[in-house]
Amino acid sequence: MATETIEFKEKNLVVSSMAETLIGSEIIFLAWQINEKIAKGQKISNLTIGDFNPKIFPIPSKLKEEIKRAYDENETNYPPAEGCMELRKEISAYLKSKAGLEYKTDEILVTSGARPVIFAAYNTIVDVDEVVIFPVPSWNNNHYTHLTRSRAITVETRPENNFMPTADDIRPYIKEANLISLCSPLNPTGTAFTENEIKNICDLVLEENYRRGEEAKPVYVLYDQVYWQLTLGDTKHYNPVTVNPEMKDYTVFVDGISKVFASTGVRVGWGFGPKKLIDKMKSITSHMGAWAPKAEQIAVARFLANEEAVNEYLVNFKSEIGKRLNSFYDSFLSLKNEGFNVDVISPQASIFMTVKVDLIGKKKEDGSVISCTQDITNFLIEDAKIALVPFASFGASPDSTWYRISVGTCTMDQINEVMDSLRLALSKLR
């Protein structure tokens, strides 16, 4: 008896226009493409993801001990929606001690990493079709405006300003805006606001809010400072509220442990700002279930209270990150001085740095010509055996030849190998 074959036709399932048009993370997509190549035996240095290799950069040993201790004490039930009081008290004390910022426990919201803070802030501040101003390149603002169905006005920044936005960049659009999303130190560039730059932006925001009056919806600033403790050399971190205390009513901060303590997988972040906004954000994250695990919250509270352990970790961690960034910087300067068409911006903070690899018009050994940024990216992967993230993945112009390097997964010896491979590949171009 013949077996009957039944064909099932896939149904055309209709979803929301937001979901239909939402794209995933370009950076994660690129990183997994590289990881697939590596899994198949290709030797490629993957410097794309803003993460850490735990074997190179483990979380603080005292934090690990406190996490184990909290689980041994069975701290495994639901935490309060706004975060455990113990942790919010320690965050409040930590901000005052380390940053000179005074926020009460009811002005602080703890979440599972920093992303829920950003999502909740967007949903609290902007309505459908309201305007969000943000610079490009920057991390994920394009996706958060899409998720909230708000309207993006992007400001393309320039290398002469270290890719940081200025008040003059924002001024033409300020009257339309309800939110300005800023990040310093900036992902992807590893650069930071100067005191004068952030002061000018604060003056612009306050001037606009005075113009609108008390009854109108103000312009708010979302200030992502998750890398603020990873400044290098003479670089200092500045924020809107310390630069101008009047900004306290209009600023929501994004912060957490993910980058400063190499704890991306521990998932403890927090936001702080005006109580009314934080209360509304708490309601949103509570319905999302976006709280950090209770044991990790208790552990982070105990760790932050251990000033000696925190400072000991930061001194060594920042030193190791700085060595890697400066090694890449010196190496790219050497390539530039040798006549290769590359450039680099001196690293100021975070685990990132900015490099330019402009190979448009160059001919490869097989006779093909590099004609666009995607060709450069492919050349770096296939020929130089190095994977970097183009600024186009952060919203910059598709023809930008600037790239982000992330150093959280490499050793010092690997940097030498990477640069030797890049120099060899570049030398074969004509």
**pLDDT on residue 11:** 74
Sign for the pseudo-dihedral over CA of 291, 297, 300, 306: positive
Section 115-134 average pLDDT: 98
Q: Residue 79: pLDDT above 60? A: yes
Tokens of 98: 């380390």
Show the 3-state SS of 59-74: CCHHHHHHHHHHHHCC
In a domain, 72, yes or no: yes
Q: Residue 5: pLDDT above 80? A: no
Instruction: Quote the CA–CA distance of 226 and 228 in Å, as a whole number.
Output: 6
- The position carrying tokens 């001024």 is 171
Does one domain contain both 93 and 171?
yes
Dihedrals phi, psi of 115, to nearest 5 degrees: -60, -45
User: Rounded to the nearest 5 degrees, what angle is found at the Cα of 316, between the Cα atoms of 312 and 319?
Assistant: 140
Section 25-52 average pLDDT: 86
How would residue 40 be classed by pLDDT, with cut points 50, 70 and 90? confident
Does one domain contain both 421 and 351?
yes
Q: Residue 120: pLDDT above 60? A: yes
| 3-state DSSP assignment of residue 133 | strand
Residues found in the chain: 430
In a domain, 11, yes or no: no
In a domain, 303, yes or no: yes
In eight-state DSSP terms, residue 52 is -
Q: Residue 8: pLDDT above 90? A: no
Does one domain contain both 301 and 322?
no
Does one domain contain both 322 and 188?
no
Of 291, 310, 329, which residue sits at a domain end? 310
Does one domain contain both 67 and 199?
yes
Does one domain contain both 77 and 97?
yes
**pLDDT on residue 42:** 86
155 sits in which H/E element: strand 151-156
Which CATH number covers residue 258? 3.40.640.10
pLDDT, one tens digit per residue, over 382-414 is 999 999 999 999 999 999 999 999 999 999 999
Instruction: Quote the CA–CA distance of 65 and 376 in Å, as a whole number.
Output: 45
**pLDDT on residue 4:** 61
| 3-state DSSP assignment of residue 270 | strand
**pLDDT on residue 9:** 63
Instruction: Quote the CA–CA distance of 311 and 227 in Å, as a whole number.
Output: 16
Does one domain contain both 277 and 320?
no
**pLDDT on residue 198:** 98
Does one domain contain both 402 and 379?
yes
**pLDDT on residue 30:** 81
In a domain, 353, yes or no: yes
Does one domain contain both 357 and 208?
no
Percent of the chain's residues with pLDDT above 70: 98
**pLDDT on residue 199:** 98
**pLDDT on residue 117:** 98
Tokens of 305: 């209270």
Instruction: Quote the CA–CA distance of 253 and 182 in Å, as a whole number.
Output: 10
Query: What's the domain range around 136?
Result: 61-310
Does one domain contain both 254 and 356?
no
In a domain, 388, yes or no: yes
